[in-house]
Chain A
C-alpha cells in the first residue's frame, strides 16, 4: 500500500508534539511522578491512530460509529492524554491538571466518554475483553467500527489476556485490533527476567489471530500494518517492537523511568532533543 509522504511526516510531527506535551505534564506533575517510560513507548502508535487511522468526531465524542481506543495498559496514560490534547478533545489546562485533586485525568484512565476516554483501566488484563464486548455489539448493530486495544507486553503476563485472545478468534472478530507495545521491559525488570512472553507473534498466531510484526516507531510501518488489507475472518494483532521511554536519551530503554519524577534539568535536556519546531513557548 502506497502512503502519501505528507501523512507520514504529519504523524511524525504529531508524535513529536505529543512528546513535548508529555514533558510538560511530567514536569507539572512533579513529585506526583508519572509513568513516563510506558507512556512514551507507544506515542508513535497513538499518533498514527488518532492522527490518521481512527474515525471519530471531536464535536460528538460519543458518536456511535466512532472507532474505539482502549488503553488496556492503563498506566500508559501519557501516550493517551497527549493525543486527546493534540486532537482538541481536552484543553491544555485539563492536561496539566494530571493526577491533581479534582482532575478527571488520573494516573490511569477513568471512563469519560465526553472527553474521549472509553473505559476505566489500570487493572491489567481487562481491556481486550472490553474491546471484544464493544466489537460484538458493533457487529450486531452493523456498525463499521474497530476496537483498537493497546496491550503491554508485561500485561500479557495476565491470564485474562489469553482468555480474551481465544474468544476474539473464536468469534471471528475482524473488528478487533490488539496492538502489543513490545518494549521488553516491565515494572521491575525485563520480560525475560520476570515472566518471558517469548515469541508474542507466534503466541497470537497460535490463538488464530492474523499477526503483523513491526518496528513500533516506524510511522510508515505502523500505518501500513493498521491500514493494509487483512483476512476478514480474524482479529488482527500487531506486535510493535518499541523502546520504553522512546524519544529522550536519558530515559530510552531505561527501566528506572517506569514511574519516576522528571526534574527541571532533565526536562531541559529532553527539550533539546525535540525538533526545533516543538520547543517554542506555545505548544
Chain B
C-alpha cells in the first residue's frame, strides 16, 4: 500500500482503528479467501464499509472472543486468510489460551488486531486499557507482534501482516487526530526497525504512539546539547537485535518508551536482546509503571507516567547525568 501526504493526514486524523478499517477496505480485492471476524465490534474497528461491500467476507462472532479465535483457526486451517478484530484486552488476554493452542501451537495463520490498546480508553477504566498484551504474547512462540507508529504505518502494517506467513498481533494505539510520523511512502519490513533520526549521545527506541512523542522529545534533548537518535521499533517480535546491537555500540544511553507496562514489552525485549553486549550503555525504560493507578483522560495518564515529549526528554537527560 502506497502512502502519500494526503492519505497519511487522513489516516492519522481518523485514528488507527478507522485507518485499519480503511486499509482493509482497500486491500480486500487483492486477498484470496479473505475472512474478517469481529466480536460485535465492526464499527469500533472501522469495518462498517467493509462489512457492507464485502458481506460474504465478514462474520460477526458476537461477544465471545474464545469462540472467535477457534473459528478463526478452523477457517485458517482450511486455507482462509483470516483477520480478527476487537478491543485489545478481549483480543488478547480474554482468549490467550486459544491464541496459544489454535494459532501458535498449531501454526494456523491469523492476523488478530487489538483495537485501542494502551491507555487511550483510560476514561473507561483499566478494563478497557491494554498495557499487558505485549508482555503476555511475547512469550508465545510462532507469533509476530507489530505496533505501528501512526495511521499510515497502520495501513502499511496491515498490508504486511496479510502477506506474512505467521500469525500477527497488530497492536493499535492512540485515538483520533493522532500525531503524524510518516507523510510520504517508505519501506515497511516486518522485523526491521527504522532509524528516523540519527544522533550519537542518546538513542530512543519507541513503538506505537510513542514514536511521534520520541521525535519531539529528541528535539528537546538536543536543546540540552545532546544529540539523539529516534528509532521506530514497529516490530516488537521478532525484535531487531542487529539494530539494537549497532545502536548500543554507538550511543552512551538508550531509552525505551512505550504505551505498555514497563514489564514485558518493548523495553524488556530490548533489554533481553542487549543483555549479552559487553559494555552496553545504560537503559532507561519508560512505560506504564506496573500499576493501574491514574485512570481517566488519555493525556493525563500519559503525563502521569512521563510518556510525553517533556517527560521523555527529562527522563533521558536525568538518566544521562546520573548514569553516563
Inter-chain contact B66/A163, CB cutoff 8 Å: yes
- Bound together, the chains give a CA A129 to CA B39 distance in angstroms of 14
Inter-chain contact A129/B101, CB cutoff 8 Å: no
Inter-chain contact B106/A137, CB cutoff 8 Å: no
Excluding A120-B106, A132-B71, 5 further A-B contacts by CB distance (< 8 Å) are A123-B97, A129-B69, A135-B74, A141-B78, A159-B66
Inter-chain contact B106/A136, CB cutoff 8 Å: no
Does B141 make an interface contact (CB < 8 A)?
A: no
Contacts A126-B70, A129-B66, A129-B71 given: A134-B77 contact, CB under 8 Å? yes
Inter-chain contact A129/B74, CB cutoff 8 Å: yes
Inter-chain contact B101/A160, CB cutoff 8 Å: no
Q: Which residues of B contact A130 (CB under 8 A)?
A: 70-71, 73-74, 77, 102
Contacts A130-B70, A160-B70, A163-B67 given: A119-B78 contact, CB under 8 Å? no
Q: 6 A-B pairs, CB-CB below 8 angstroms?
A: A119-B106, A126-B102, A130-B70, A133-B74, A134-B75, A160-B67
Q: Quick one: closest B residue to A118, CB to CB?
A: B77
Does B59 make an interface contact (CB < 8 A)?
A: yes
Distance to closest chain B CB from A244 (angstroms) = 25
Chain A interface size range: 20 to 34
Nearest 6 CB-CB pairings of A with B: A133-B74, A129-B70, A163-B67, A163-B64, A137-B78, A133-B71
Contacts A129-B70, A133-B73, A137-B75 given: A111-B62 contact, CB under 8 Å? no
- Bound together, the chains give a CA A137 to CA B74 distance in angstroms of 8
Does A166 make an interface contact (CB < 8 A)?
A: yes
> Which residues of B are at the interface with A, using a C-beta cutoff of 8 A?
56, 59, 61-62, 64, 66-67, 69-80, 97-98, 101-102, 105-106
Chain B contact residues: over half helix, strand or loop, or mixed? Answer: helix
- Bound together, the chains give a CA A130 to CA B67 distance in angstroms of 8
Chain A contact residues: over half helix, strand or loop, or mixed? Answer: helix
Inter-chain contact B74/A132, CB cutoff 8 Å: yes
Q: Which residues of A contact B75 (CB under 8 A)?
A: 133-134, 136-137
- Bound together, the chains give a CA A163 to CA B64 distance in angstroms of 6
Q: Which residues of A contact B71 (CB under 8 A)?
A: 129-130, 132-133, 136, 167
Q: Quick one: closest B residue to A133, CB to CB?
A: B74
Q: Which residues of A contact B67 (CB under 8 A)?
A: 129, 132, 160, 163-164, 166-167
Q: Which residues of A contact B77 (CB under 8 A)?
A: 118-119, 130, 133-134
Q: Which residues of A contact B73 (CB under 8 A)?
A: 129-130, 133
- Bound together, the chains give a CA A123 to CA B104 distance in angstroms of 14
Inter-chain contact B59/A136, CB cutoff 8 Å: yes
Q: Quick one: closest A residue to B56, CB to CB?
A: A140
- Bound together, the chains give a CA A120 to CA B106 distance in angstroms of 7
Inter-chain contact A166/B74, CB cutoff 8 Å: no
- Bound together, the chains give a CA A112 to CA B67 distance in angstroms of 22
- Bound together, the chains give a CA A111 to CA B75 distance in angstroms of 15
- Bound together, the chains give a CA A94 to CA B75 distance in angstroms of 29
Does A39 make an interface contact (CB < 8 A)?
A: no
Does A152 make an interface contact (CB < 8 A)?
A: no
- Bound together, the chains give a CA A223 to CA B57 distance in angstroms of 36
- Bound together, the chains give a CA A119 to CA B66 distance in angstroms of 16
Interface string of A114-149 (1 = CB under 8 A from B): 000011101101101111111111101100000000
